[in-house]
């Protein structure tokens, strides 16, 4: 019986090994930002493009009408979407600086929760620490259980040993968390 339990645990456990990279972190930041309810709208490229076009229109009208206020608002509404577009990359860079010293990370996802093991940390967190998860082509972002759903951990798909491990991880996450 003990042997059967061991096999079951192994089947339900998925191990990822990876080093954090800028592209993975940026993808996770963008993913969580866009999945953040109504507030996530401001991180969508189409919305940012519309605001930039409106800003350019206000800028042109301000210049033509010799209106300093119109020019100021036009510049502001043109620059803001550009800054918002690059904000995830800047945030990802800061996250990477904060986590790079860990080196290669081994993450084990199983029935009890998530265990992260690195050169400087051994962290175990039960499923109650996560409220939902979001998925992109590169990462799974496990989100906090609060209303804002900030990112609690990034699981890099490239760290899986096989494509089947990614499918098993997705099934495991689906059985424990709500997908957003």
Helix (H, G, I), strand (E, B) or coil at 161: coil
Contacts of 176 (CB under 8 A, 6+ apart): 127, 130
What does the pLDDT read at residue 2?
39
Tell if the pTM clears 0.85, that is, is over it: no
Of the options 2.60.120, 2.40.10, 2.30.29, 1.10.3120, the CATH number for the domain spanning 2-19+103-179: 2.30.29
Rounded to whole angstroms, the Cα distance separating 24 from 15 reads 17
- Average pLDDT over all residues of the chain: 85
Q: Give the DSSP H or E segment for 101.
A: none
HEC sequence for 11-61: HHCEEEEECCCHHHHHHHHHHHHHCCHHHHHHHCHHHHHHHHHHHHHHHHH
Residue with more model confidence, 165 or 28: 165
Q: Are 157 and 23 in contact (CB under 8 A)?
A: no
pLDDT of residue 25 exceeding 80, the answer is: yes
pLDDT of residue 1 exceeding 50, the answer is: no
What does the pLDDT read at residue 77?
85
Rounded to whole angstroms, the Cα distance separating 85 from 16 reads 30
Distance, C-alpha 56 to centroid of its chain: 31
pLDDT digits (tens, 9 = 90+) for 50-92: 888 888 888 888 888 888 888 888 888 888 888 888 888 888 8
Distance, C-alpha 173 to centroid of its chain: 15
pLDDT of residue 7 exceeding 50, the answer is: no
Supply the DSSP symbol for 75.
H
Relative to beta strand 178-179, strand 132-135 is: parallel
> Which segments of the chain belong to CATH 2.30.29?
2-19+103-179
């Amino acid at each position: 019986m003990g042997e059967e339990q061991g096999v079951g645990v192994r089947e339900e456990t998925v191990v990822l090994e990876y080093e954090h990279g800028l592209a993975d972190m940026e993808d996770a930041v963008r993913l969580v930002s866009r999945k953040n309810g109504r507030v996530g709208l401001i991180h969508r490229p189409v919305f940012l493009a519309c605001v930039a076009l409106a800003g350019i229109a206000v800028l042109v009208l301000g210049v033509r009408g010799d209106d300093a206020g119109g020019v100021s608002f036009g510049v502001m509404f043109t620059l803001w979407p550009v800054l918002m577009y690059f904000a995830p990359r800047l945030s990802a860079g800061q996250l990477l600086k904060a986590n790079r010293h860990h080196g290669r990370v081994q993450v084990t996802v199983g029935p009890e929760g998530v265990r992260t093991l690195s050169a400087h940390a051994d962290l175990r967190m039960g499923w109650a620490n996560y409220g939902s998860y979001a998925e992109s082509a590169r990462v799974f972002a496990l989100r906090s259980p609060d209303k804002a759903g900030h990112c609690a951990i990034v699981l890099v798909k490239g760290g899986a040993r096989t494509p089947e491990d990614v499918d098993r991880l997705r099934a495991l996450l689906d059985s424990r968390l709500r997908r957003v």
